Chain A
Amino acid sequence: MWRYALPLLVVIALGVLLFQGIGRDPSTLPSPLIDHPVPAFELGTLADPSVRVSQQDLLGEPYLLNVFASWCATCHLEHPVLKAFAEEGVARLIGLNWKDQPDDAKRWLVRAGDPYALILADESGAVGIDLGVYGTPETFLIDANGVIRFKHVGELTDAVIEREIRPRLLAWSDGAAP
């Protein structure tokens, strides 16, 4: 009996283990920053580098922090989704212009439309490293206390907003402690 059952069990166990890997994107890394405060930063805005903004200035209300660059093709793809999100006005949309030439970024936003309430310019990419950014686009959902609650790597879609972002924002606005 065991002679046949044991190999079968081993094969089933292995199958379950390997099946979990199917459909997972190995290039998507889980962020260790989830449920941790946004790392301290101070950056100039894209519009005016002399206007300095730190993570302290963004406290008080939740916001979506979208890491983008004018050279990033996937960022162009997700742009309409960001615009719709901003028009809806459920939360602030803040941009982090990552490793980009400010002039390129500005030119692109004039052409494509600028949905951001505020854009921080991280030309050197230093704040990106602090945030664990390894590719654009990346989008962080940050609560009113400045704690990162969710991160999406890659193109932001309506499905991600409906599944991950909107439920959290609704729960917070209902008065549940974020």
Chain B
Amino acid sequence: MRALLAMLLLALSLGAHAGLEPLNFDSPEQARRYQELLRELRCTVCQNESLAESKAELAKDMRLRIHQMMLEGQTDAQIKEFLVSRYGDFVLYAPPFQPNTWVLWLGPGVVLLIGLGAMLMVLRKRARALPADAGGIED
């Protein structure tokens, strides 16, 4: 039973680091920062995976570069800026708010407003039509 439990725990701990290389960090805080940063960055060859989960060779190279930059004392913002300057905004999972992404960020809100407006118009029209209607609700 104990052996089984040990195996289970081992399997779980392996899963948590799947696809990632063992790396040394200056502090646990830095290791946490690294993990968080990877989740915000996209693998450029396997576009629907983040750098935290991708097993692609290029993703590994990008992780090693990020790790190296972190050990050199660069901030998250500097590392992101470097990757954006090489691969474009695409590497960021959350695209920045700028003119070419306004439609992306604001579009859903605008569509929602149009829908609400249309609904209000229809409801008002109905409310106006009802009193004139002799039958009212029973109609």
Chain A interface residues (CB < 8 Å from chain B): 10, 17, 26-27, 29-33, 39, 99, 124-126, 128-132, 134-135
- CB-based contact A125/B88 at 8 Å: no
Chain B interface residues (CB < 8 Å from chain A): 44-45, 47, 57-58, 61-62, 65, 84-88, 90, 103, 114
- Count A-B pairs with CB separation below 8 Å: 42
Q: A99-B57, A135-B45 are in contact. Are A32 and B65 (CB under 8 A)?
A: no
- CB-based contact A30/B88 at 8 Å: yes
Contact of B87 among A10, A39, A126, A134 (CB under 8 A): A134
Contact of A132 among B65, B87, B103 (CB under 8 A): B87
Q: A99-B57, A134-B44 are in contact. Are A29 and B88 (CB under 8 A)?
A: yes
- CB-based contact A131/B47 at 8 Å: no
A selection of 15 A-B contacts at a CB cut-off of 8 Å is A17-B103, A26-B47, A29-B88, A29-B90, A31-B88, A32-B86, A126-B65, A129-B62, A129-B65, A129-B86, A131-B86, A132-B86, A132-B88, A134-B44, A135-B45
Extra A-B contacts (15), CB below 8 Å, given A10-B114, A135-B45: A17-B103, A29-B44, A32-B84, A32-B87, A33-B86, A99-B61, A125-B58, A125-B61, A126-B65, A128-B61, A129-B65, A131-B86, A132-B87, A134-B44, A134-B45
Q: Distance (Å) between the CB of A31 and the closest chain B CB? A: 7
In the bound complex, CA of A38 to CA of B114 (Å): 47
In the bound complex, CA of A124 to CA of B44 (Å): 17
Contact of A27 among B47, B62, B84, B88 (CB under 8 A): B47
Contacts of B65 in A (CB 8 A): 126, 129
In the bound complex, CA of A129 to CA of B86 (Å): 7
- CB-based contact B86/A130 at 8 Å: yes
Contacts of A135 in B (CB 8 A): 45, 58
- CB-based contact A32/B47 at 8 Å: no
Ordered nearest first, which 7 A-B pairs have the shortest CB separation? Answer: A134-B44, A132-B86, A32-B88, A125-B61, A132-B87, A29-B90, A134-B45
